[in-house]
Each structure stands twice: as structure tokens, then as C-alpha cells.
Amino acid sequence: MSKPPSESLVSEYVSYIRIERGYTTQTQITYKFHIKKFCKHLKKKRIPFDKIDHKFFLDYTVHLRKLGLSANSIRAYLTIIKSFFRFLNKQEIFSNQLSKIIETPKIEFKIPEVLSLEEMERLLMQPDVSKASGARDRAILELLYGSGLRISEALNIKAKDIKKDHVRVFGKGQKERITPSGTKFREALLHYWSNFRKGGLKGIDFAFISSNEKPLNKSYFWVLFQKYAEEAGIQKKISPHTLRHTFATHLLKNGANLRVIQELLGHESIGTTGIYLHLCNEHLNNQFKKYHRRYLIRITTSVDS
């Protein structure tokens, strides 16, 4: 193959990741976008598809760096391209084993922002539960913090998926998991449902809906979340996903097993969950420096007097 992949071949790959891999619609759109962008770059550079080699990908990585992409973004981008080449090899369309030699940059380690217990309490108190939207948002916030769900998982929950003490969740790749739900969430949900869901709750209904009785949009809730965070006086740069980080961190700080947290979050790898160990270690170091310094000050003052 000397020419870049055709539109139909890219579409065939997208069908493959949908059917064989179970990727969500949004992931399919993302993969298609990056592959088409890659093919456009090849065409611009006039590089035949069968002439792509290891050196090209090194140069391509430099090109992405110059565009201002972080190591994390480049890694994700090249992972998509590697997946596409594996597909081409599997279909015997392209025999070069490039997927095995494409090097991806090391991930830049960033400790996620989390809220303190006091900040979390302030945030939860912001929605006006005397109104339908406020009662709904309070229940969503309680679910995000109480069960560690991704915002997309929470907004896609159906009424039938919520049981007495747990919630059935469909995560990435439509993988199902069961996660416990707390008393505070159930109380908030009961208030919302009993007072503001006038249409009742059928088995197919979404648990949380907009004023026009449609499923909530993730971007719309992000805007609401930022408003609540500002009203709560939280200065940190946070998003709904911060509550997932906060959930895991608070569990770990209170003695929960990392494997248990992995299951609750739906992580395939314990390494992904391990980031919270680093966060807790940083917390311990900060506490040590803070209180040890105070201790030294007290000793010095006592001796001097």
C-alpha cells in the first residue's frame, strides 16, 4: 500500500473497534479524527504509506511536540495509530510490523487535584434542593462522591439500575460493574424522585433528566458544577471528575485496600489506581513538614524561655 488509507478503510476500522472492541461512540469519533489527521499529515509530507519507518515516527513525535502537545496527549495519539496498524496487519492490508516499533513517550506524572472533606461538604450544600434542578444535582454530586463514578457513567444510569444498596454501572467499553451506593445518595435521590419526577419512574427512564425530560448532557452539567464550586468558594481547578479522585483518595486515607478501590473504580490495571498512593504519600509528607515544623518551634520557644 503506497497511498494513505482510504476513507472506507478508516470506516472499516471504526466498525471494528465498535463491534470487536466495544468502544463507545465518543471513542470511535476520537479514533477516527486522529487517524484522519495522521493520514492528512502523510499526504502533506508526500510520504508513501509503505515507506513509513521507525525514523518517521520519531520525527512525527517531534512534530507533535512542536504543536504544543503534552507527553500524555502524544502517547494517547500514537496508541491510536498503533491500534490502526495492528488492524491493517490483521486484515493483511499492510504487512509492516510498525505497531511493535512505534515508541510512545513516557507519561508525565501529574497528581490529580482532590477536595478536602470540608470542601466536599461545602460543595454538596450548594444545590437548592427545593427546586427540581437542585434536588437532581445534589443527588448526582452525592453519587459521584459516594460511589466514585465518572460523570458519563452517572448521567447514563437508568432508574432500573439503582437498587437498595448498590448501582449497576456501564463504564468504558460498556463494561458492567456493581458499585455500592451510600445512604446520603439514596436520601437525595428519594427526595428528587418523590418530589420532582411527576412523570413517574418507568424501567427505561434515566435516573436524572433535564427540564425537558431528556437525558442530561455532560457539558451542561460541567457548567453547573463550576457554578456550584464557585459558590462554595473552592479556589482549586476542579471538574466533576475531581469527585472521583476525591472518593478514591478519601477511601485510601481511611484505610481502604487499593485492590478494593480498583474494583470500585472499574480500573483494569492496579497501576492506574496506584496514582492515589502517590497522592496520599504527598499528603503525608505535607502533614509531616507542617506539624514537625510546629513541633520544632515549640521546642525552640520553650528552651529559649
Q: Which residues are catalytic?
A: 150, 172, 241, 244, 267, 276
E strand or H helix at 219: helix 218-231
Q: How far apart are CA 23 and CA 48, in angstroms?
A: 30
Q: How far apart are CA 185 and CA 197, in angstroms?
A: 16
Residue 274, classed as helix, strand or coil, is coil
Question: What's the grid cell of residue 75?
Answer: 502517547
Question: What's the grid cell of residue 221?
Answer: 452539567
Q: Within 10 Å of residue 202's Cβ, how many Cβ atoms?
A: 9
Conformation bin of residue 71: beta by default, left when phi > 0, alpha when psi is -120 to 50: alpha
**Angle of CA points 51, 57, 59, to nearest 5°:** 105
**Angle of CA points 294, 300, 303, to nearest 5°:** 140
The candidate with the shortest Cα–Cα distance to 64, out of 43, 78, 49, 79, is: 78
Q: Backbone phi, then psi, for 238, in 5-degree steps?
A: -130, 170
The identity of residue 244, as a single letter, is R
